Structure 1
Amino acid sequence: MTQVLLCGAAIVTLSMGIRHGFGLWLAPITMDRGWTRETFAFAIAIQNLAWGAAGPLAGMLADRFGAYRVLLAGGLLYAVGLVLMALSTSGLAFTGSAGLLIGIAQSGTTYSVIYGVISRNVAPEKRSWAMGVAAAAGSFGQFLMVPVESWLISTWNWQNALFVLGCAALVILPLARGLKEPAFAATGAHQQSIPQALREAFGYRSFQLLMAGYFVCGFQVVFIGVHMPSYLKDKGLGPEVATTALALIGLFNVFGTYAAGTLGQYLAKRHILAAIYALRGVAIVAFLLLPLTPMSVYVFSAVMGLLWLSTVPPTNAVVAQIFGVQYMSMLGGFVFLSHQVGSFLGVWLGGRLYDLSGSYDVVWWMAVALSVFAVLINLPVRESAIVRAPRPAVA
């Protein structure tokens, strides 16, 4: 179990740490290439959509053949995507590299695949805690990598910074050996085929509600992560404020995700999720209504950091709790697809509505309204294991 947690946490640290800093590239790339913010935002929106769309397939392959091969392919694609992102000279090429390639790479190197391995190697009573550890690693990656990426951009320019990150992504390959496992096969009366598992999950009301709630999570965090640096710049604050803000989100998310995973062992996970979304809404309202200063930005970032990825451990733990672990990576991938549809809309609408109105205000208030929606739909989730009729034995 220790090896799985250490290697899984290190992979998530790299994969999530690299992507969390992409907002720092918005200004230098658009200025250097002469693109609008929507061009950059659309590519990152496609990245999130591709990540979500490829997630179920990556999870299905990891469940069937083991995570090792999926992680190898994902790490290689990540490195190639970052290099091509630096070399892209048109919006279409940038969308293909920063959007499509990196999005597919992330589907094979982040939570769905890692959580599938964890769920099969950790006792059920420790599963929520272990998922919290992996999510906290992703948050530590943000705290660690954002200042590094900012330094790389300012010191070596944005293109060379991407080349360095491409080399860093290759470290995922040796780490993947620590997650090498045999193909998982369920035993007993409740062994399922993939179509049976999908019909069961998508016909189950609580699974639908979890997907809807995760949509809101994606909308909020990716909009803030990508557009807040430019929002702060528009308000007259220096780039160091944005860098510190993103780093604070990553730092405090280490504690938030670990706490959410630990609390999931003792409290109803639907209540944890509802509380997280409610607090997000309150934090955004306060941020918008109070005077904007570097200190208010830092306080907002710390609060949002506690709530940032803290939805991840309880959401995935509920999926494993309801349906079991045989197809955990695949079902987690489908839930994450909903998250990424929300991410697509959050990041794209941020750029689109800014170009139309010159302001991010509408999208900020959309994020507040979605918090209320997420609170209401998470409360009815049933967390108990699904009751299946015994399958007849095969003669």
Structure 2
Amino acid sequence: MERHGGLRGTLPILVGASVMLSVAMGLRQSLGIFMPPLTAELAISVADFALAIAIQNLTWGLCQPFAGWLVASWGFRPVMLAGAVLYVAGMALLAGAGGLVAVMLGAGLTIGVAMAFASASMAMAVTARVVSPERRSTLLGVVSAAGSVGALVAAPIGQILSVDHGWRVGVMGFVVLALAMIPAAWMAGRVDGLAPPASVPGGSDGLTARAALRVAARRAPFVVMTLAYFVCGMQLVFLTTHLPSYLVLCGLDPLLSATALGTIGGFNVLGSLFFGWAGGRWNKPMLLGGIYIARSLAIAWYFVQAPTPESTVLFAAVMGFLWLGVAPLVTGMVAEMFGLRWLAMLQGVTFLSHQVGSFVGAFGGGWVFDALGSYDLALQLGVGLGLFAGVVQILFALLPRPRLPQPA
């Protein structure tokens, strides 16, 4: 099934990548749990906390192409280990925060750099290197599903510790969980000892980094996918950042936010497995467009009515199924277009667009709430842009694909 030595050689690599991704994504997706008590104790606004999360996402996106370039120069293991250590440091800094600056440095800048070095793009690039092209999409979906398991564990632990002992103890619980990223990154780094993968026709494996970027910028499918990815980040990070606050404003039990985030994580597993499997059988850009449209319709349905515990859990289940399913599709498309040598870097370029959208979703949502006293405008913009991105992605997928030139 796997290349470069069979299952015995690649299974530890896949397990390491899965654990690293699970912890990294699970913890950062659950930070919104701490927003109400943290902002109250430190006397900062919702917009201030949202700005820290926005800085995290923007830093993550800005550093991701650079991290991908470092992988081609240094290898995966040193890059991912550095990211794991930074992640622990960022959580520890947040746990001891005494004001806005420490929140910005911990939850924002440090964790943002850590995510670029040791989370989704790295785990996906590692997986793509050790599995055969025929099984790539399915295995990418399996590893992507692991990124959802972390939220199932982190959200309830963080919420219970925060309610019973205060938000600082809750964040310290996250510090302990983050330590698991270090041995996981070491295991996943065994990919550096494998033989280099074969090139793909019309790819960029034989090019320099700068030439590979130029080739990608001229590929219309890559450009459309990258721009649509902006909306993906905007919608998802808006929800992870502001849904807990929205539920509190609506007078619902604060523990419901942990239930919702945990439900997202659980159904995320199913969605990642499904879209990983589907991406190996059907048109990946069409599937991407369908995800964006379905998400937007689900958001519109949920927020036009007063939330209840039942509707919140149902909404979380639908969004969870549609959450990380984009990861195996995007990674698979980039690998098919350009090969594997510069996969981490080029996927980082697409992810930069995603994270600019995440910045807008986190900070823009908080700014709109502070300015207008409600999330209505932010939701309207999120739904409208999501429908537009989905339709454009599908329409472009219907166009005939041009014959790709061979690299010089």
> Structure 2 length normalisation: TM-score?
0.92
2:405 counterpart (369, 388, 393):
388
Distance in 2 (alpha carbons) for counterparts of 1:262 and 1:252: 15
Q: Secondary structure at the match of 1:182?
A: helix
Change in Cα spacing, 1:315 to 1:390, as seen in structure 2 (3 Å) is: closer
Larger deviation, residues 379-388 vs 288-297: 379-388
2:308 is equivalent to residue 302 of structure 1: no
2:371 to 331, 356, 360: 356
Residue by residue, what CA displacement relative to the aligned partner does 1:324-375 show, whole Å, maximum 9, x if unpaired? 1111111111111111000000010111110111101111111110111211
In structure 1, what residue type is equivalent to 2:54?
A
Alignment of 1:371 onto 2:386? yes
Secondary structure at the residue paired with 1:237? coil
TM-superposed CA distance for 1:260, in Å, is 0.5
Q: Answer whether contact 2:152 2:266 (CA < 8 A) is retained.
A: yes
Q: Which amino acid aligns with 1:389?
A: Q
CA–CA distance in 1 between the matches of 2:245 and 2:64?
Answer: 29
Cα 1:15–1:257, aligned 2, differ >3 Å: closer, same or farther? same
* 2:98 matches 1:89: yes
Aligned-residue offset at 1:23:
0.5
2:3 paired residue number: none
Q: Is contact 1:323–1:386 with CA below 8 Å preserved after alignment?
A: no
Contact preservation (8 Å) 2:95, 2:171: yes
Alpha carbons 1:219, 1:344 under 8 Å: kept: yes
Matched, 1:126 2:141: no
8 A contact 1:321–1:385 mirrored in 2: no
Pair 1:43–1:126, CA change in 2 (3 A): same
Q: How far apart, CA to CA, are the structure 2 residues paired with 1:386 and 1:162?
A: 52
Partner of 2:166, secondary structure, is helix
Q: Return the offset for 1:119.
A: 1.2
2:48 is equivalent to residue 31 of structure 1: no
Going from structure 1 to structure 2, the CA distance change for 1:187 and 1:93 (only over 3 Å counts) comes to: same
Tell me which residue corresponds to 1:49. 58
* Number of equivalenced pairs: 391
Residue aligning to 1:327: 342
Tell me, yes or no, if structure 1 residue 211 matches structure 2 residue 226. Answer: yes
Aligned 1:145-294 pairs, distance under 5 A: 145-179=154-188, 180-182=190-192, 191-294=206-309
Is the Cα contact below 8 Å between 2:230 and 2:353 reproduced in 1?
yes
Contact 2:266 2:320 in 1 (8 A): yes
Partner of 1:63, secondary structure, is: helix
Please give the alpha-carbon distance, in whole angstroms, between the structure 2 residues aligned to 1:47 and 1:164: 20
Q: Which of 146, 151, 175 lines up with 1:137 in the alignment?
A: 146
Distance 1:128 1:38, change over 3 A: same
SS of equivalent to 2:325? coil
CA separation in 1, counterparts of 2:365 and 2:406?
47
Residue by residue over 1:37-56, the C-alpha shift from the partner in whole angstroms, topping out at 9 and shown as x without a partner, is 01100000000000111111
Q: Secondary structure at the match of 1:279?
A: helix
Matched, 1:64 2:73: yes
Structure 2: state its 5+ residue gaps. Answer: 1-9
Helix, strand or coil: the match of 2:112?
Answer: helix
* Matched-pair contact (CA < 8 Å) for 1:216–1:339: yes
**Cα distance between partner residues in 2 of 1:232 and 1:316:** 34
Q: Distance in 1 between matches of 2:279 and 2:387?
A: 22
Match of 2:351 in 1: 336
Q: Percent identity between the aligned chains?
A: 36
Mean Cα displacement is larger for which, 317-326 or 81-90? 81-90
Distance 1:390 1:286, change over 3 A: closer
State TM-score, norm by structure 1.
Answer: 0.95
Report the more deviating stretch, 278-287 or 22-31: 278-287
Which amino acid in 2 is paired with 1:174? P
In 2 relative to 1, CA 60–390 (structure 1 residues): closer, same or farther, beyond 3 Å? Answer: closer
Gaps of 5+ in 1: none
CA drift at 1:187: 7.1
Query: In structure 1, how many angstroms separate the alpha carbons of the residues matched to 2:406 and 2:255?
Result: 58
Question: Counterpart of 1:181 in 2: which secondary structure?
Answer: helix
Q: Which amino acid aligns with 1:42?
A: L
Paired residues of 1:79 and 1:170 also in contact (CA < 8 A): yes
Question: Cα distance 1:325–1:384, how it changes in 2: closer, same or farther (>3 A)?
Answer: farther
TM superposition shift of 1:275: 1.0
Q: Does 2:104 match 1:108?
A: no
CA contact (8 A) 1:3 1:178 kept: yes
Shift of 1:114: 1.4
Work out the CA distance in 2 between the residues paired with 1:242 and 1:171: 25
- In the TM superposition, residue 17 of structure 1 has moved relative to its aligned partner by 0.8
Tell me how far apart the structure 2 counterparts of residues 182 and 14 of structure 1 sit (CA, whole Å): 22
Q: What's the Cα RMSD here?
A: 1.8
Report the counterpart of residue 316 of structure 1 in structure 2: 331
1:281, 1:164 → 2: CA distance? 34
Aligned-pair distance for 1:143? 1.6
